[in-house]
Structures are given as structure tokens and as C-alpha cells.
Chains A and B, each alone.
Chain A
Amino acid sequence: MSRVATEANDLEDIEIGLLLEGLYRAYGFDFREYSRASIKRRILEMMRAEKLGTVSALQERVLHDATCLERFLLGLSVHATAMFRDPSFYLTFRRKVVPLLKTYPTVQIWVAGCSTGEEVYSLAILLQEERLYKRCRIYATDISRAVLRKARDGIFPLAAMREYTNNYHQAGGANEFSDYYTAQYDSVIFSTALKSNVVFSEHNLATDGSFNEFQVILCRNVMIYFNKDLQARVHNLLYDSLSMFGVFGLGNKESLKFTPRAAFYEHLNDKDKLFRKVM
């Protein structure tokens, strides 16, 4: 029995390789160097959602049905995150990064892999409170048009607000968090003023190049989906896009240690994953 299961598993891995190759050759979306464990889970989940029995059947549908492709990309790019996730990261940003940014006449910020926008709104709120927002421009990018649409809409579930409010206060926020949104039924919509200096745009970290020079780049919990080779490529891309002494932020469990650029940054503090480009 176990040999049969192992063979079925091997076959599935082959099919996944073919699906990813097909997506790349047909549309240029390159998931071939994504971390297999996670992408396999999502592909199997999608098979269940589409009520298909094999990865090959999913491949057929993704290649021939544009709406299925859209669902596939959405499925791969939605991450369940929160506003002010890891409050101490934002607290450190407020205390250590904001004073640095105040020395610049204009500040270019890139939120790479912004997904549904929680981080973008968190950052906009923080910058507004620190009277920096007006001179900032935030580029929020993702590979999926569908998640960018959601990010641009700025509509989030009301049920999440208690957690976000908590995070906001722990992150040093001193206002009423509810001042930033309007609630309607079971959703809230965030103030449009928060996105007045935000540009939402498609960008694929796996295949696209640099498009500007930034003083701040946040790429949190995005590269965890990539394998080591792709991580190395993206670390180089982000490094090249960051100005000297620019600030780079990663997720709490991400590390520069295993990357080619480790020696080119210094830690802003011991605890949070905020770095400064020094070489």
C-alpha cells in the first residue's frame, strides 16, 4: 500500500511540475521556483475547489479557461495577514525609521508583494500620524490583479477590527483606530485619504526588474513562498532597488542569514526584522 501511495505522490509531483511549466510558457507567470511544499498544498486545495480529480485536469482548465487562471493566481497570492501584524515591527518603524525618513525631502516606499493591502494601510496610517505621509509615495505591487483590486478597494471584514485595533495600539498608535474607517454591515472601508499617495501596480518579483530607487522597501512574508534560488534573486533585486542607507523590512521569521546580501545590511535593533543598507 505504501509503495502505491508513494508512486501516486511522485506522479502528482511530476504533474505539478508540468502545470507550472505550462503556466510559465503560456502566460509568463513563473511559479517554478516557488517553495514546493506550499504550492503543492494550494494546488491540491484548488483541485478540490474546482472539483477535479488530478493536477493534469487542473492544468487543462487553467490553460484554457481565463477565469480559472484568474482564480488560480488569486489562490496563490492571498495570504491571511493582519493590519499591524507583529506590532513591535511597526513600533520600531515608528521610533527608529521615521526619524531617518524625516531627513529626506521626499520618500519613495515599495511594499513588494502587498497582497490585499493590510500592510499598505497600516503604513499609511503610521506615516500620516507621524506627519510624513504627504512627502511619501508608496508603490504597492503584487503579481495578481485580483488582490490588487481588493487592496485598492480598502474594504476589510468588520470582524477583524478588534484584532487590528489591538495591534494598532501596541504598535504605538494613539488615536481611535475607528477614525480611519467607516463601517457598513459586516465590512469596513478605509479612508480614501490613506491611499492618496499610493500607487497600486502589477509587478512580478520572480521575473520583473527594478523600477525605481527607494528609501524604504518592505517585503514581509512574501519570499517565504520562494525556494532558495528565487529568494537569492529577489534579495539582489531589492538590494539594487534600495538607496544607500535605505531601510529594508522582512517578516518576523525571515532571515538575511541565508541570502547573498546578508553582509550588506545592518540591523536596526536586535528583535525586529528591520535592516539598513550600509554597503
Chain B
Amino acid sequence: MSFEIIVVGASTGGLKALQVLLSELPVEFSLPMVIVQHRGKDMETGLCEFLARSSRLPVREPEDKETLLPGQAYLAPRDYHLMIQSGSFALSTESPVGFARPSIDVLFESAANEYQDRAIGLILTGANHDGARGLAAIKAQGGLTVVEDPATATCREMPDAAINLTKVDWILPLSEMAAGLHKLTNSTKRYES
């Protein structure tokens, strides 16, 4: 069984963490990567361009019903929830979940539903609990769960919350994240837990 997607959730401190992750992932990293980074709804665009500058993978904000492509990083647009349905993006303006829109939980739950054990969920730094429920959903469907090491994260609340709710598969410091993910997705064999 091989993986088909990686979903990433980040909040406070996330810009820096995403910058590191995206700059260290090799060009040949082929899984589509879908990112929710919390941000204020009046924060103007520019985040995507900012991340793209340090990323070796192309980064874009998807439009509704756009097909996911390999080798591409996607950033959830501000003030929408982002979900995945039948291989395409589905946006929504449902109410914020835990004060967040986009919400990490919403993205992760839809990825768990769509990809089951072919999804990887990654929780990075943040000062709230978003993503914990979503990561649990990925785990429940047999997907792979990865969390940034709370000890070295800018804000440890979000990694801690995820670890408290789920027996996560990997806890990695940011400095080893890109290499770790590359290795995980490159190995053809997966061990059943």
C-alpha cells in the first residue's frame, strides 16, 4: 500500500515551520501536499507567494473542483474550509470550527474519508487544539500520523493535543521532518500496525 496524499496543519509559528519543511523537501517529492495554515480572515493574500519563494515544490491556492496533482503543494485559501472529494478540492463557507476557517480538522477528516489508509497527516506548531480530532480520524482509517516534536516546536499546544488524542506513528523534530517524510513515502513497504 502506498500513500497518495499528505495533509499538513499549522497555526502559530507555522510560517517558519512550513518554510523550513518546504525548502527541505526534494523536488522529486511526489505526493500532493495540502496545507492549512491558520490566519486572520482580513490578512491579505501573499502567504502563498511567501511560501512559494522558499519551496522547491510549486505552491498554489486551489480553486473549487480543481483536481489534485502530484508534486504540488496546495495552501487552503483564507476564509474557506478546504476539503477533498473524488480527487478534487471542495471549498465551503460553513461556520468556523473552533474559531478557525480554514480548519485543520475539516481538511483532515475529509482526507481520512477520501483516502483512508493512503493518507498521511502531519501536525506542526500551534497554540490551539485544531487538528487533533482530524489526526485521530486519519489514524482510525489506517492512515499514517506524524507530529512535530512538541519539545522543539515554536508552540507545543497543538502537537501536544494531537499526541494526547492519538497514538501517533512518528514524532519528529522539524529539522528531521522533510528527510523523514521523504523516506516514509519512498519506502514501498509499509508495516501493518
Binding site for B on A (CB under 8 A): 1-3, 5-6, 9, 35-38, 40-42, 78-81, 85, 163, 166, 221, 223-225, 227-228, 231, 251-255, 257-258
Partner of A253, one of B61, B95, B142: B61
Q: Are B142 and A38 in contact (CB under 8 A)?
A: no
Partner of A255, one of B63, B84, B94, B106: B63
Binding site for A on B (CB under 8 A): 42, 61-66, 77, 79-81, 83-86, 88, 90-96, 101, 106, 109-110, 113-114, 116-117, 140-142
Q: Are A1 and B140 in contact (CB under 8 A)?
A: yes
Q: Are A258 and B93 in contact (CB under 8 A)?
A: no
Q: Are A38 and B65 in contact (CB under 8 A)?
A: no
Most chain A Cβ neighbours within 10 Å, of B65, B96, B110, B142: B65
Q: Which residues of B lie under 8 Å from residue A225 when comparing CB positions?
A: 92
Q: Are B61 and A2 in contact (CB under 8 A)?
A: no
Q: Are A255 and B140 in contact (CB under 8 A)?
A: no
Partner of A254, one of B63, B83, B88: B63
Q: Are A163 and B65 in contact (CB under 8 A)?
A: no
Docked pose: A254 CA to B65 CA in angstroms: 8
Q: Are B65 and A255 in contact (CB under 8 A)?
A: yes
Docked pose: A81 CA to B93 CA in angstroms: 7
Q: Which residues of B lie under 8 Å from residue A252 when comparing CB positions?
A: 77
Please give the distance in Å from B135's CB to the nearest CB on chain A. 14
A-B pairs with beta carbons under 8 Å apart, 5 shown? A2-B141, A6-B116, A6-B141, A38-B85, A254-B64
Partner of B90, one of A6, A37, A251: A37
Task: Given A6-B141, A80-B94, A253-B77, verify A37-B114 contact (CB < 8 Å).
Answer: yes
Q: Which residues of A lie under 8 Å from residue B81 when comparing CB positions?
A: 38
Docked pose: A1 CA to B142 CA in angstroms: 8
Q: Which residues of B lie under 8 Å from residue A253 when comparing CB positions?
A: 61-64, 77, 80, 91
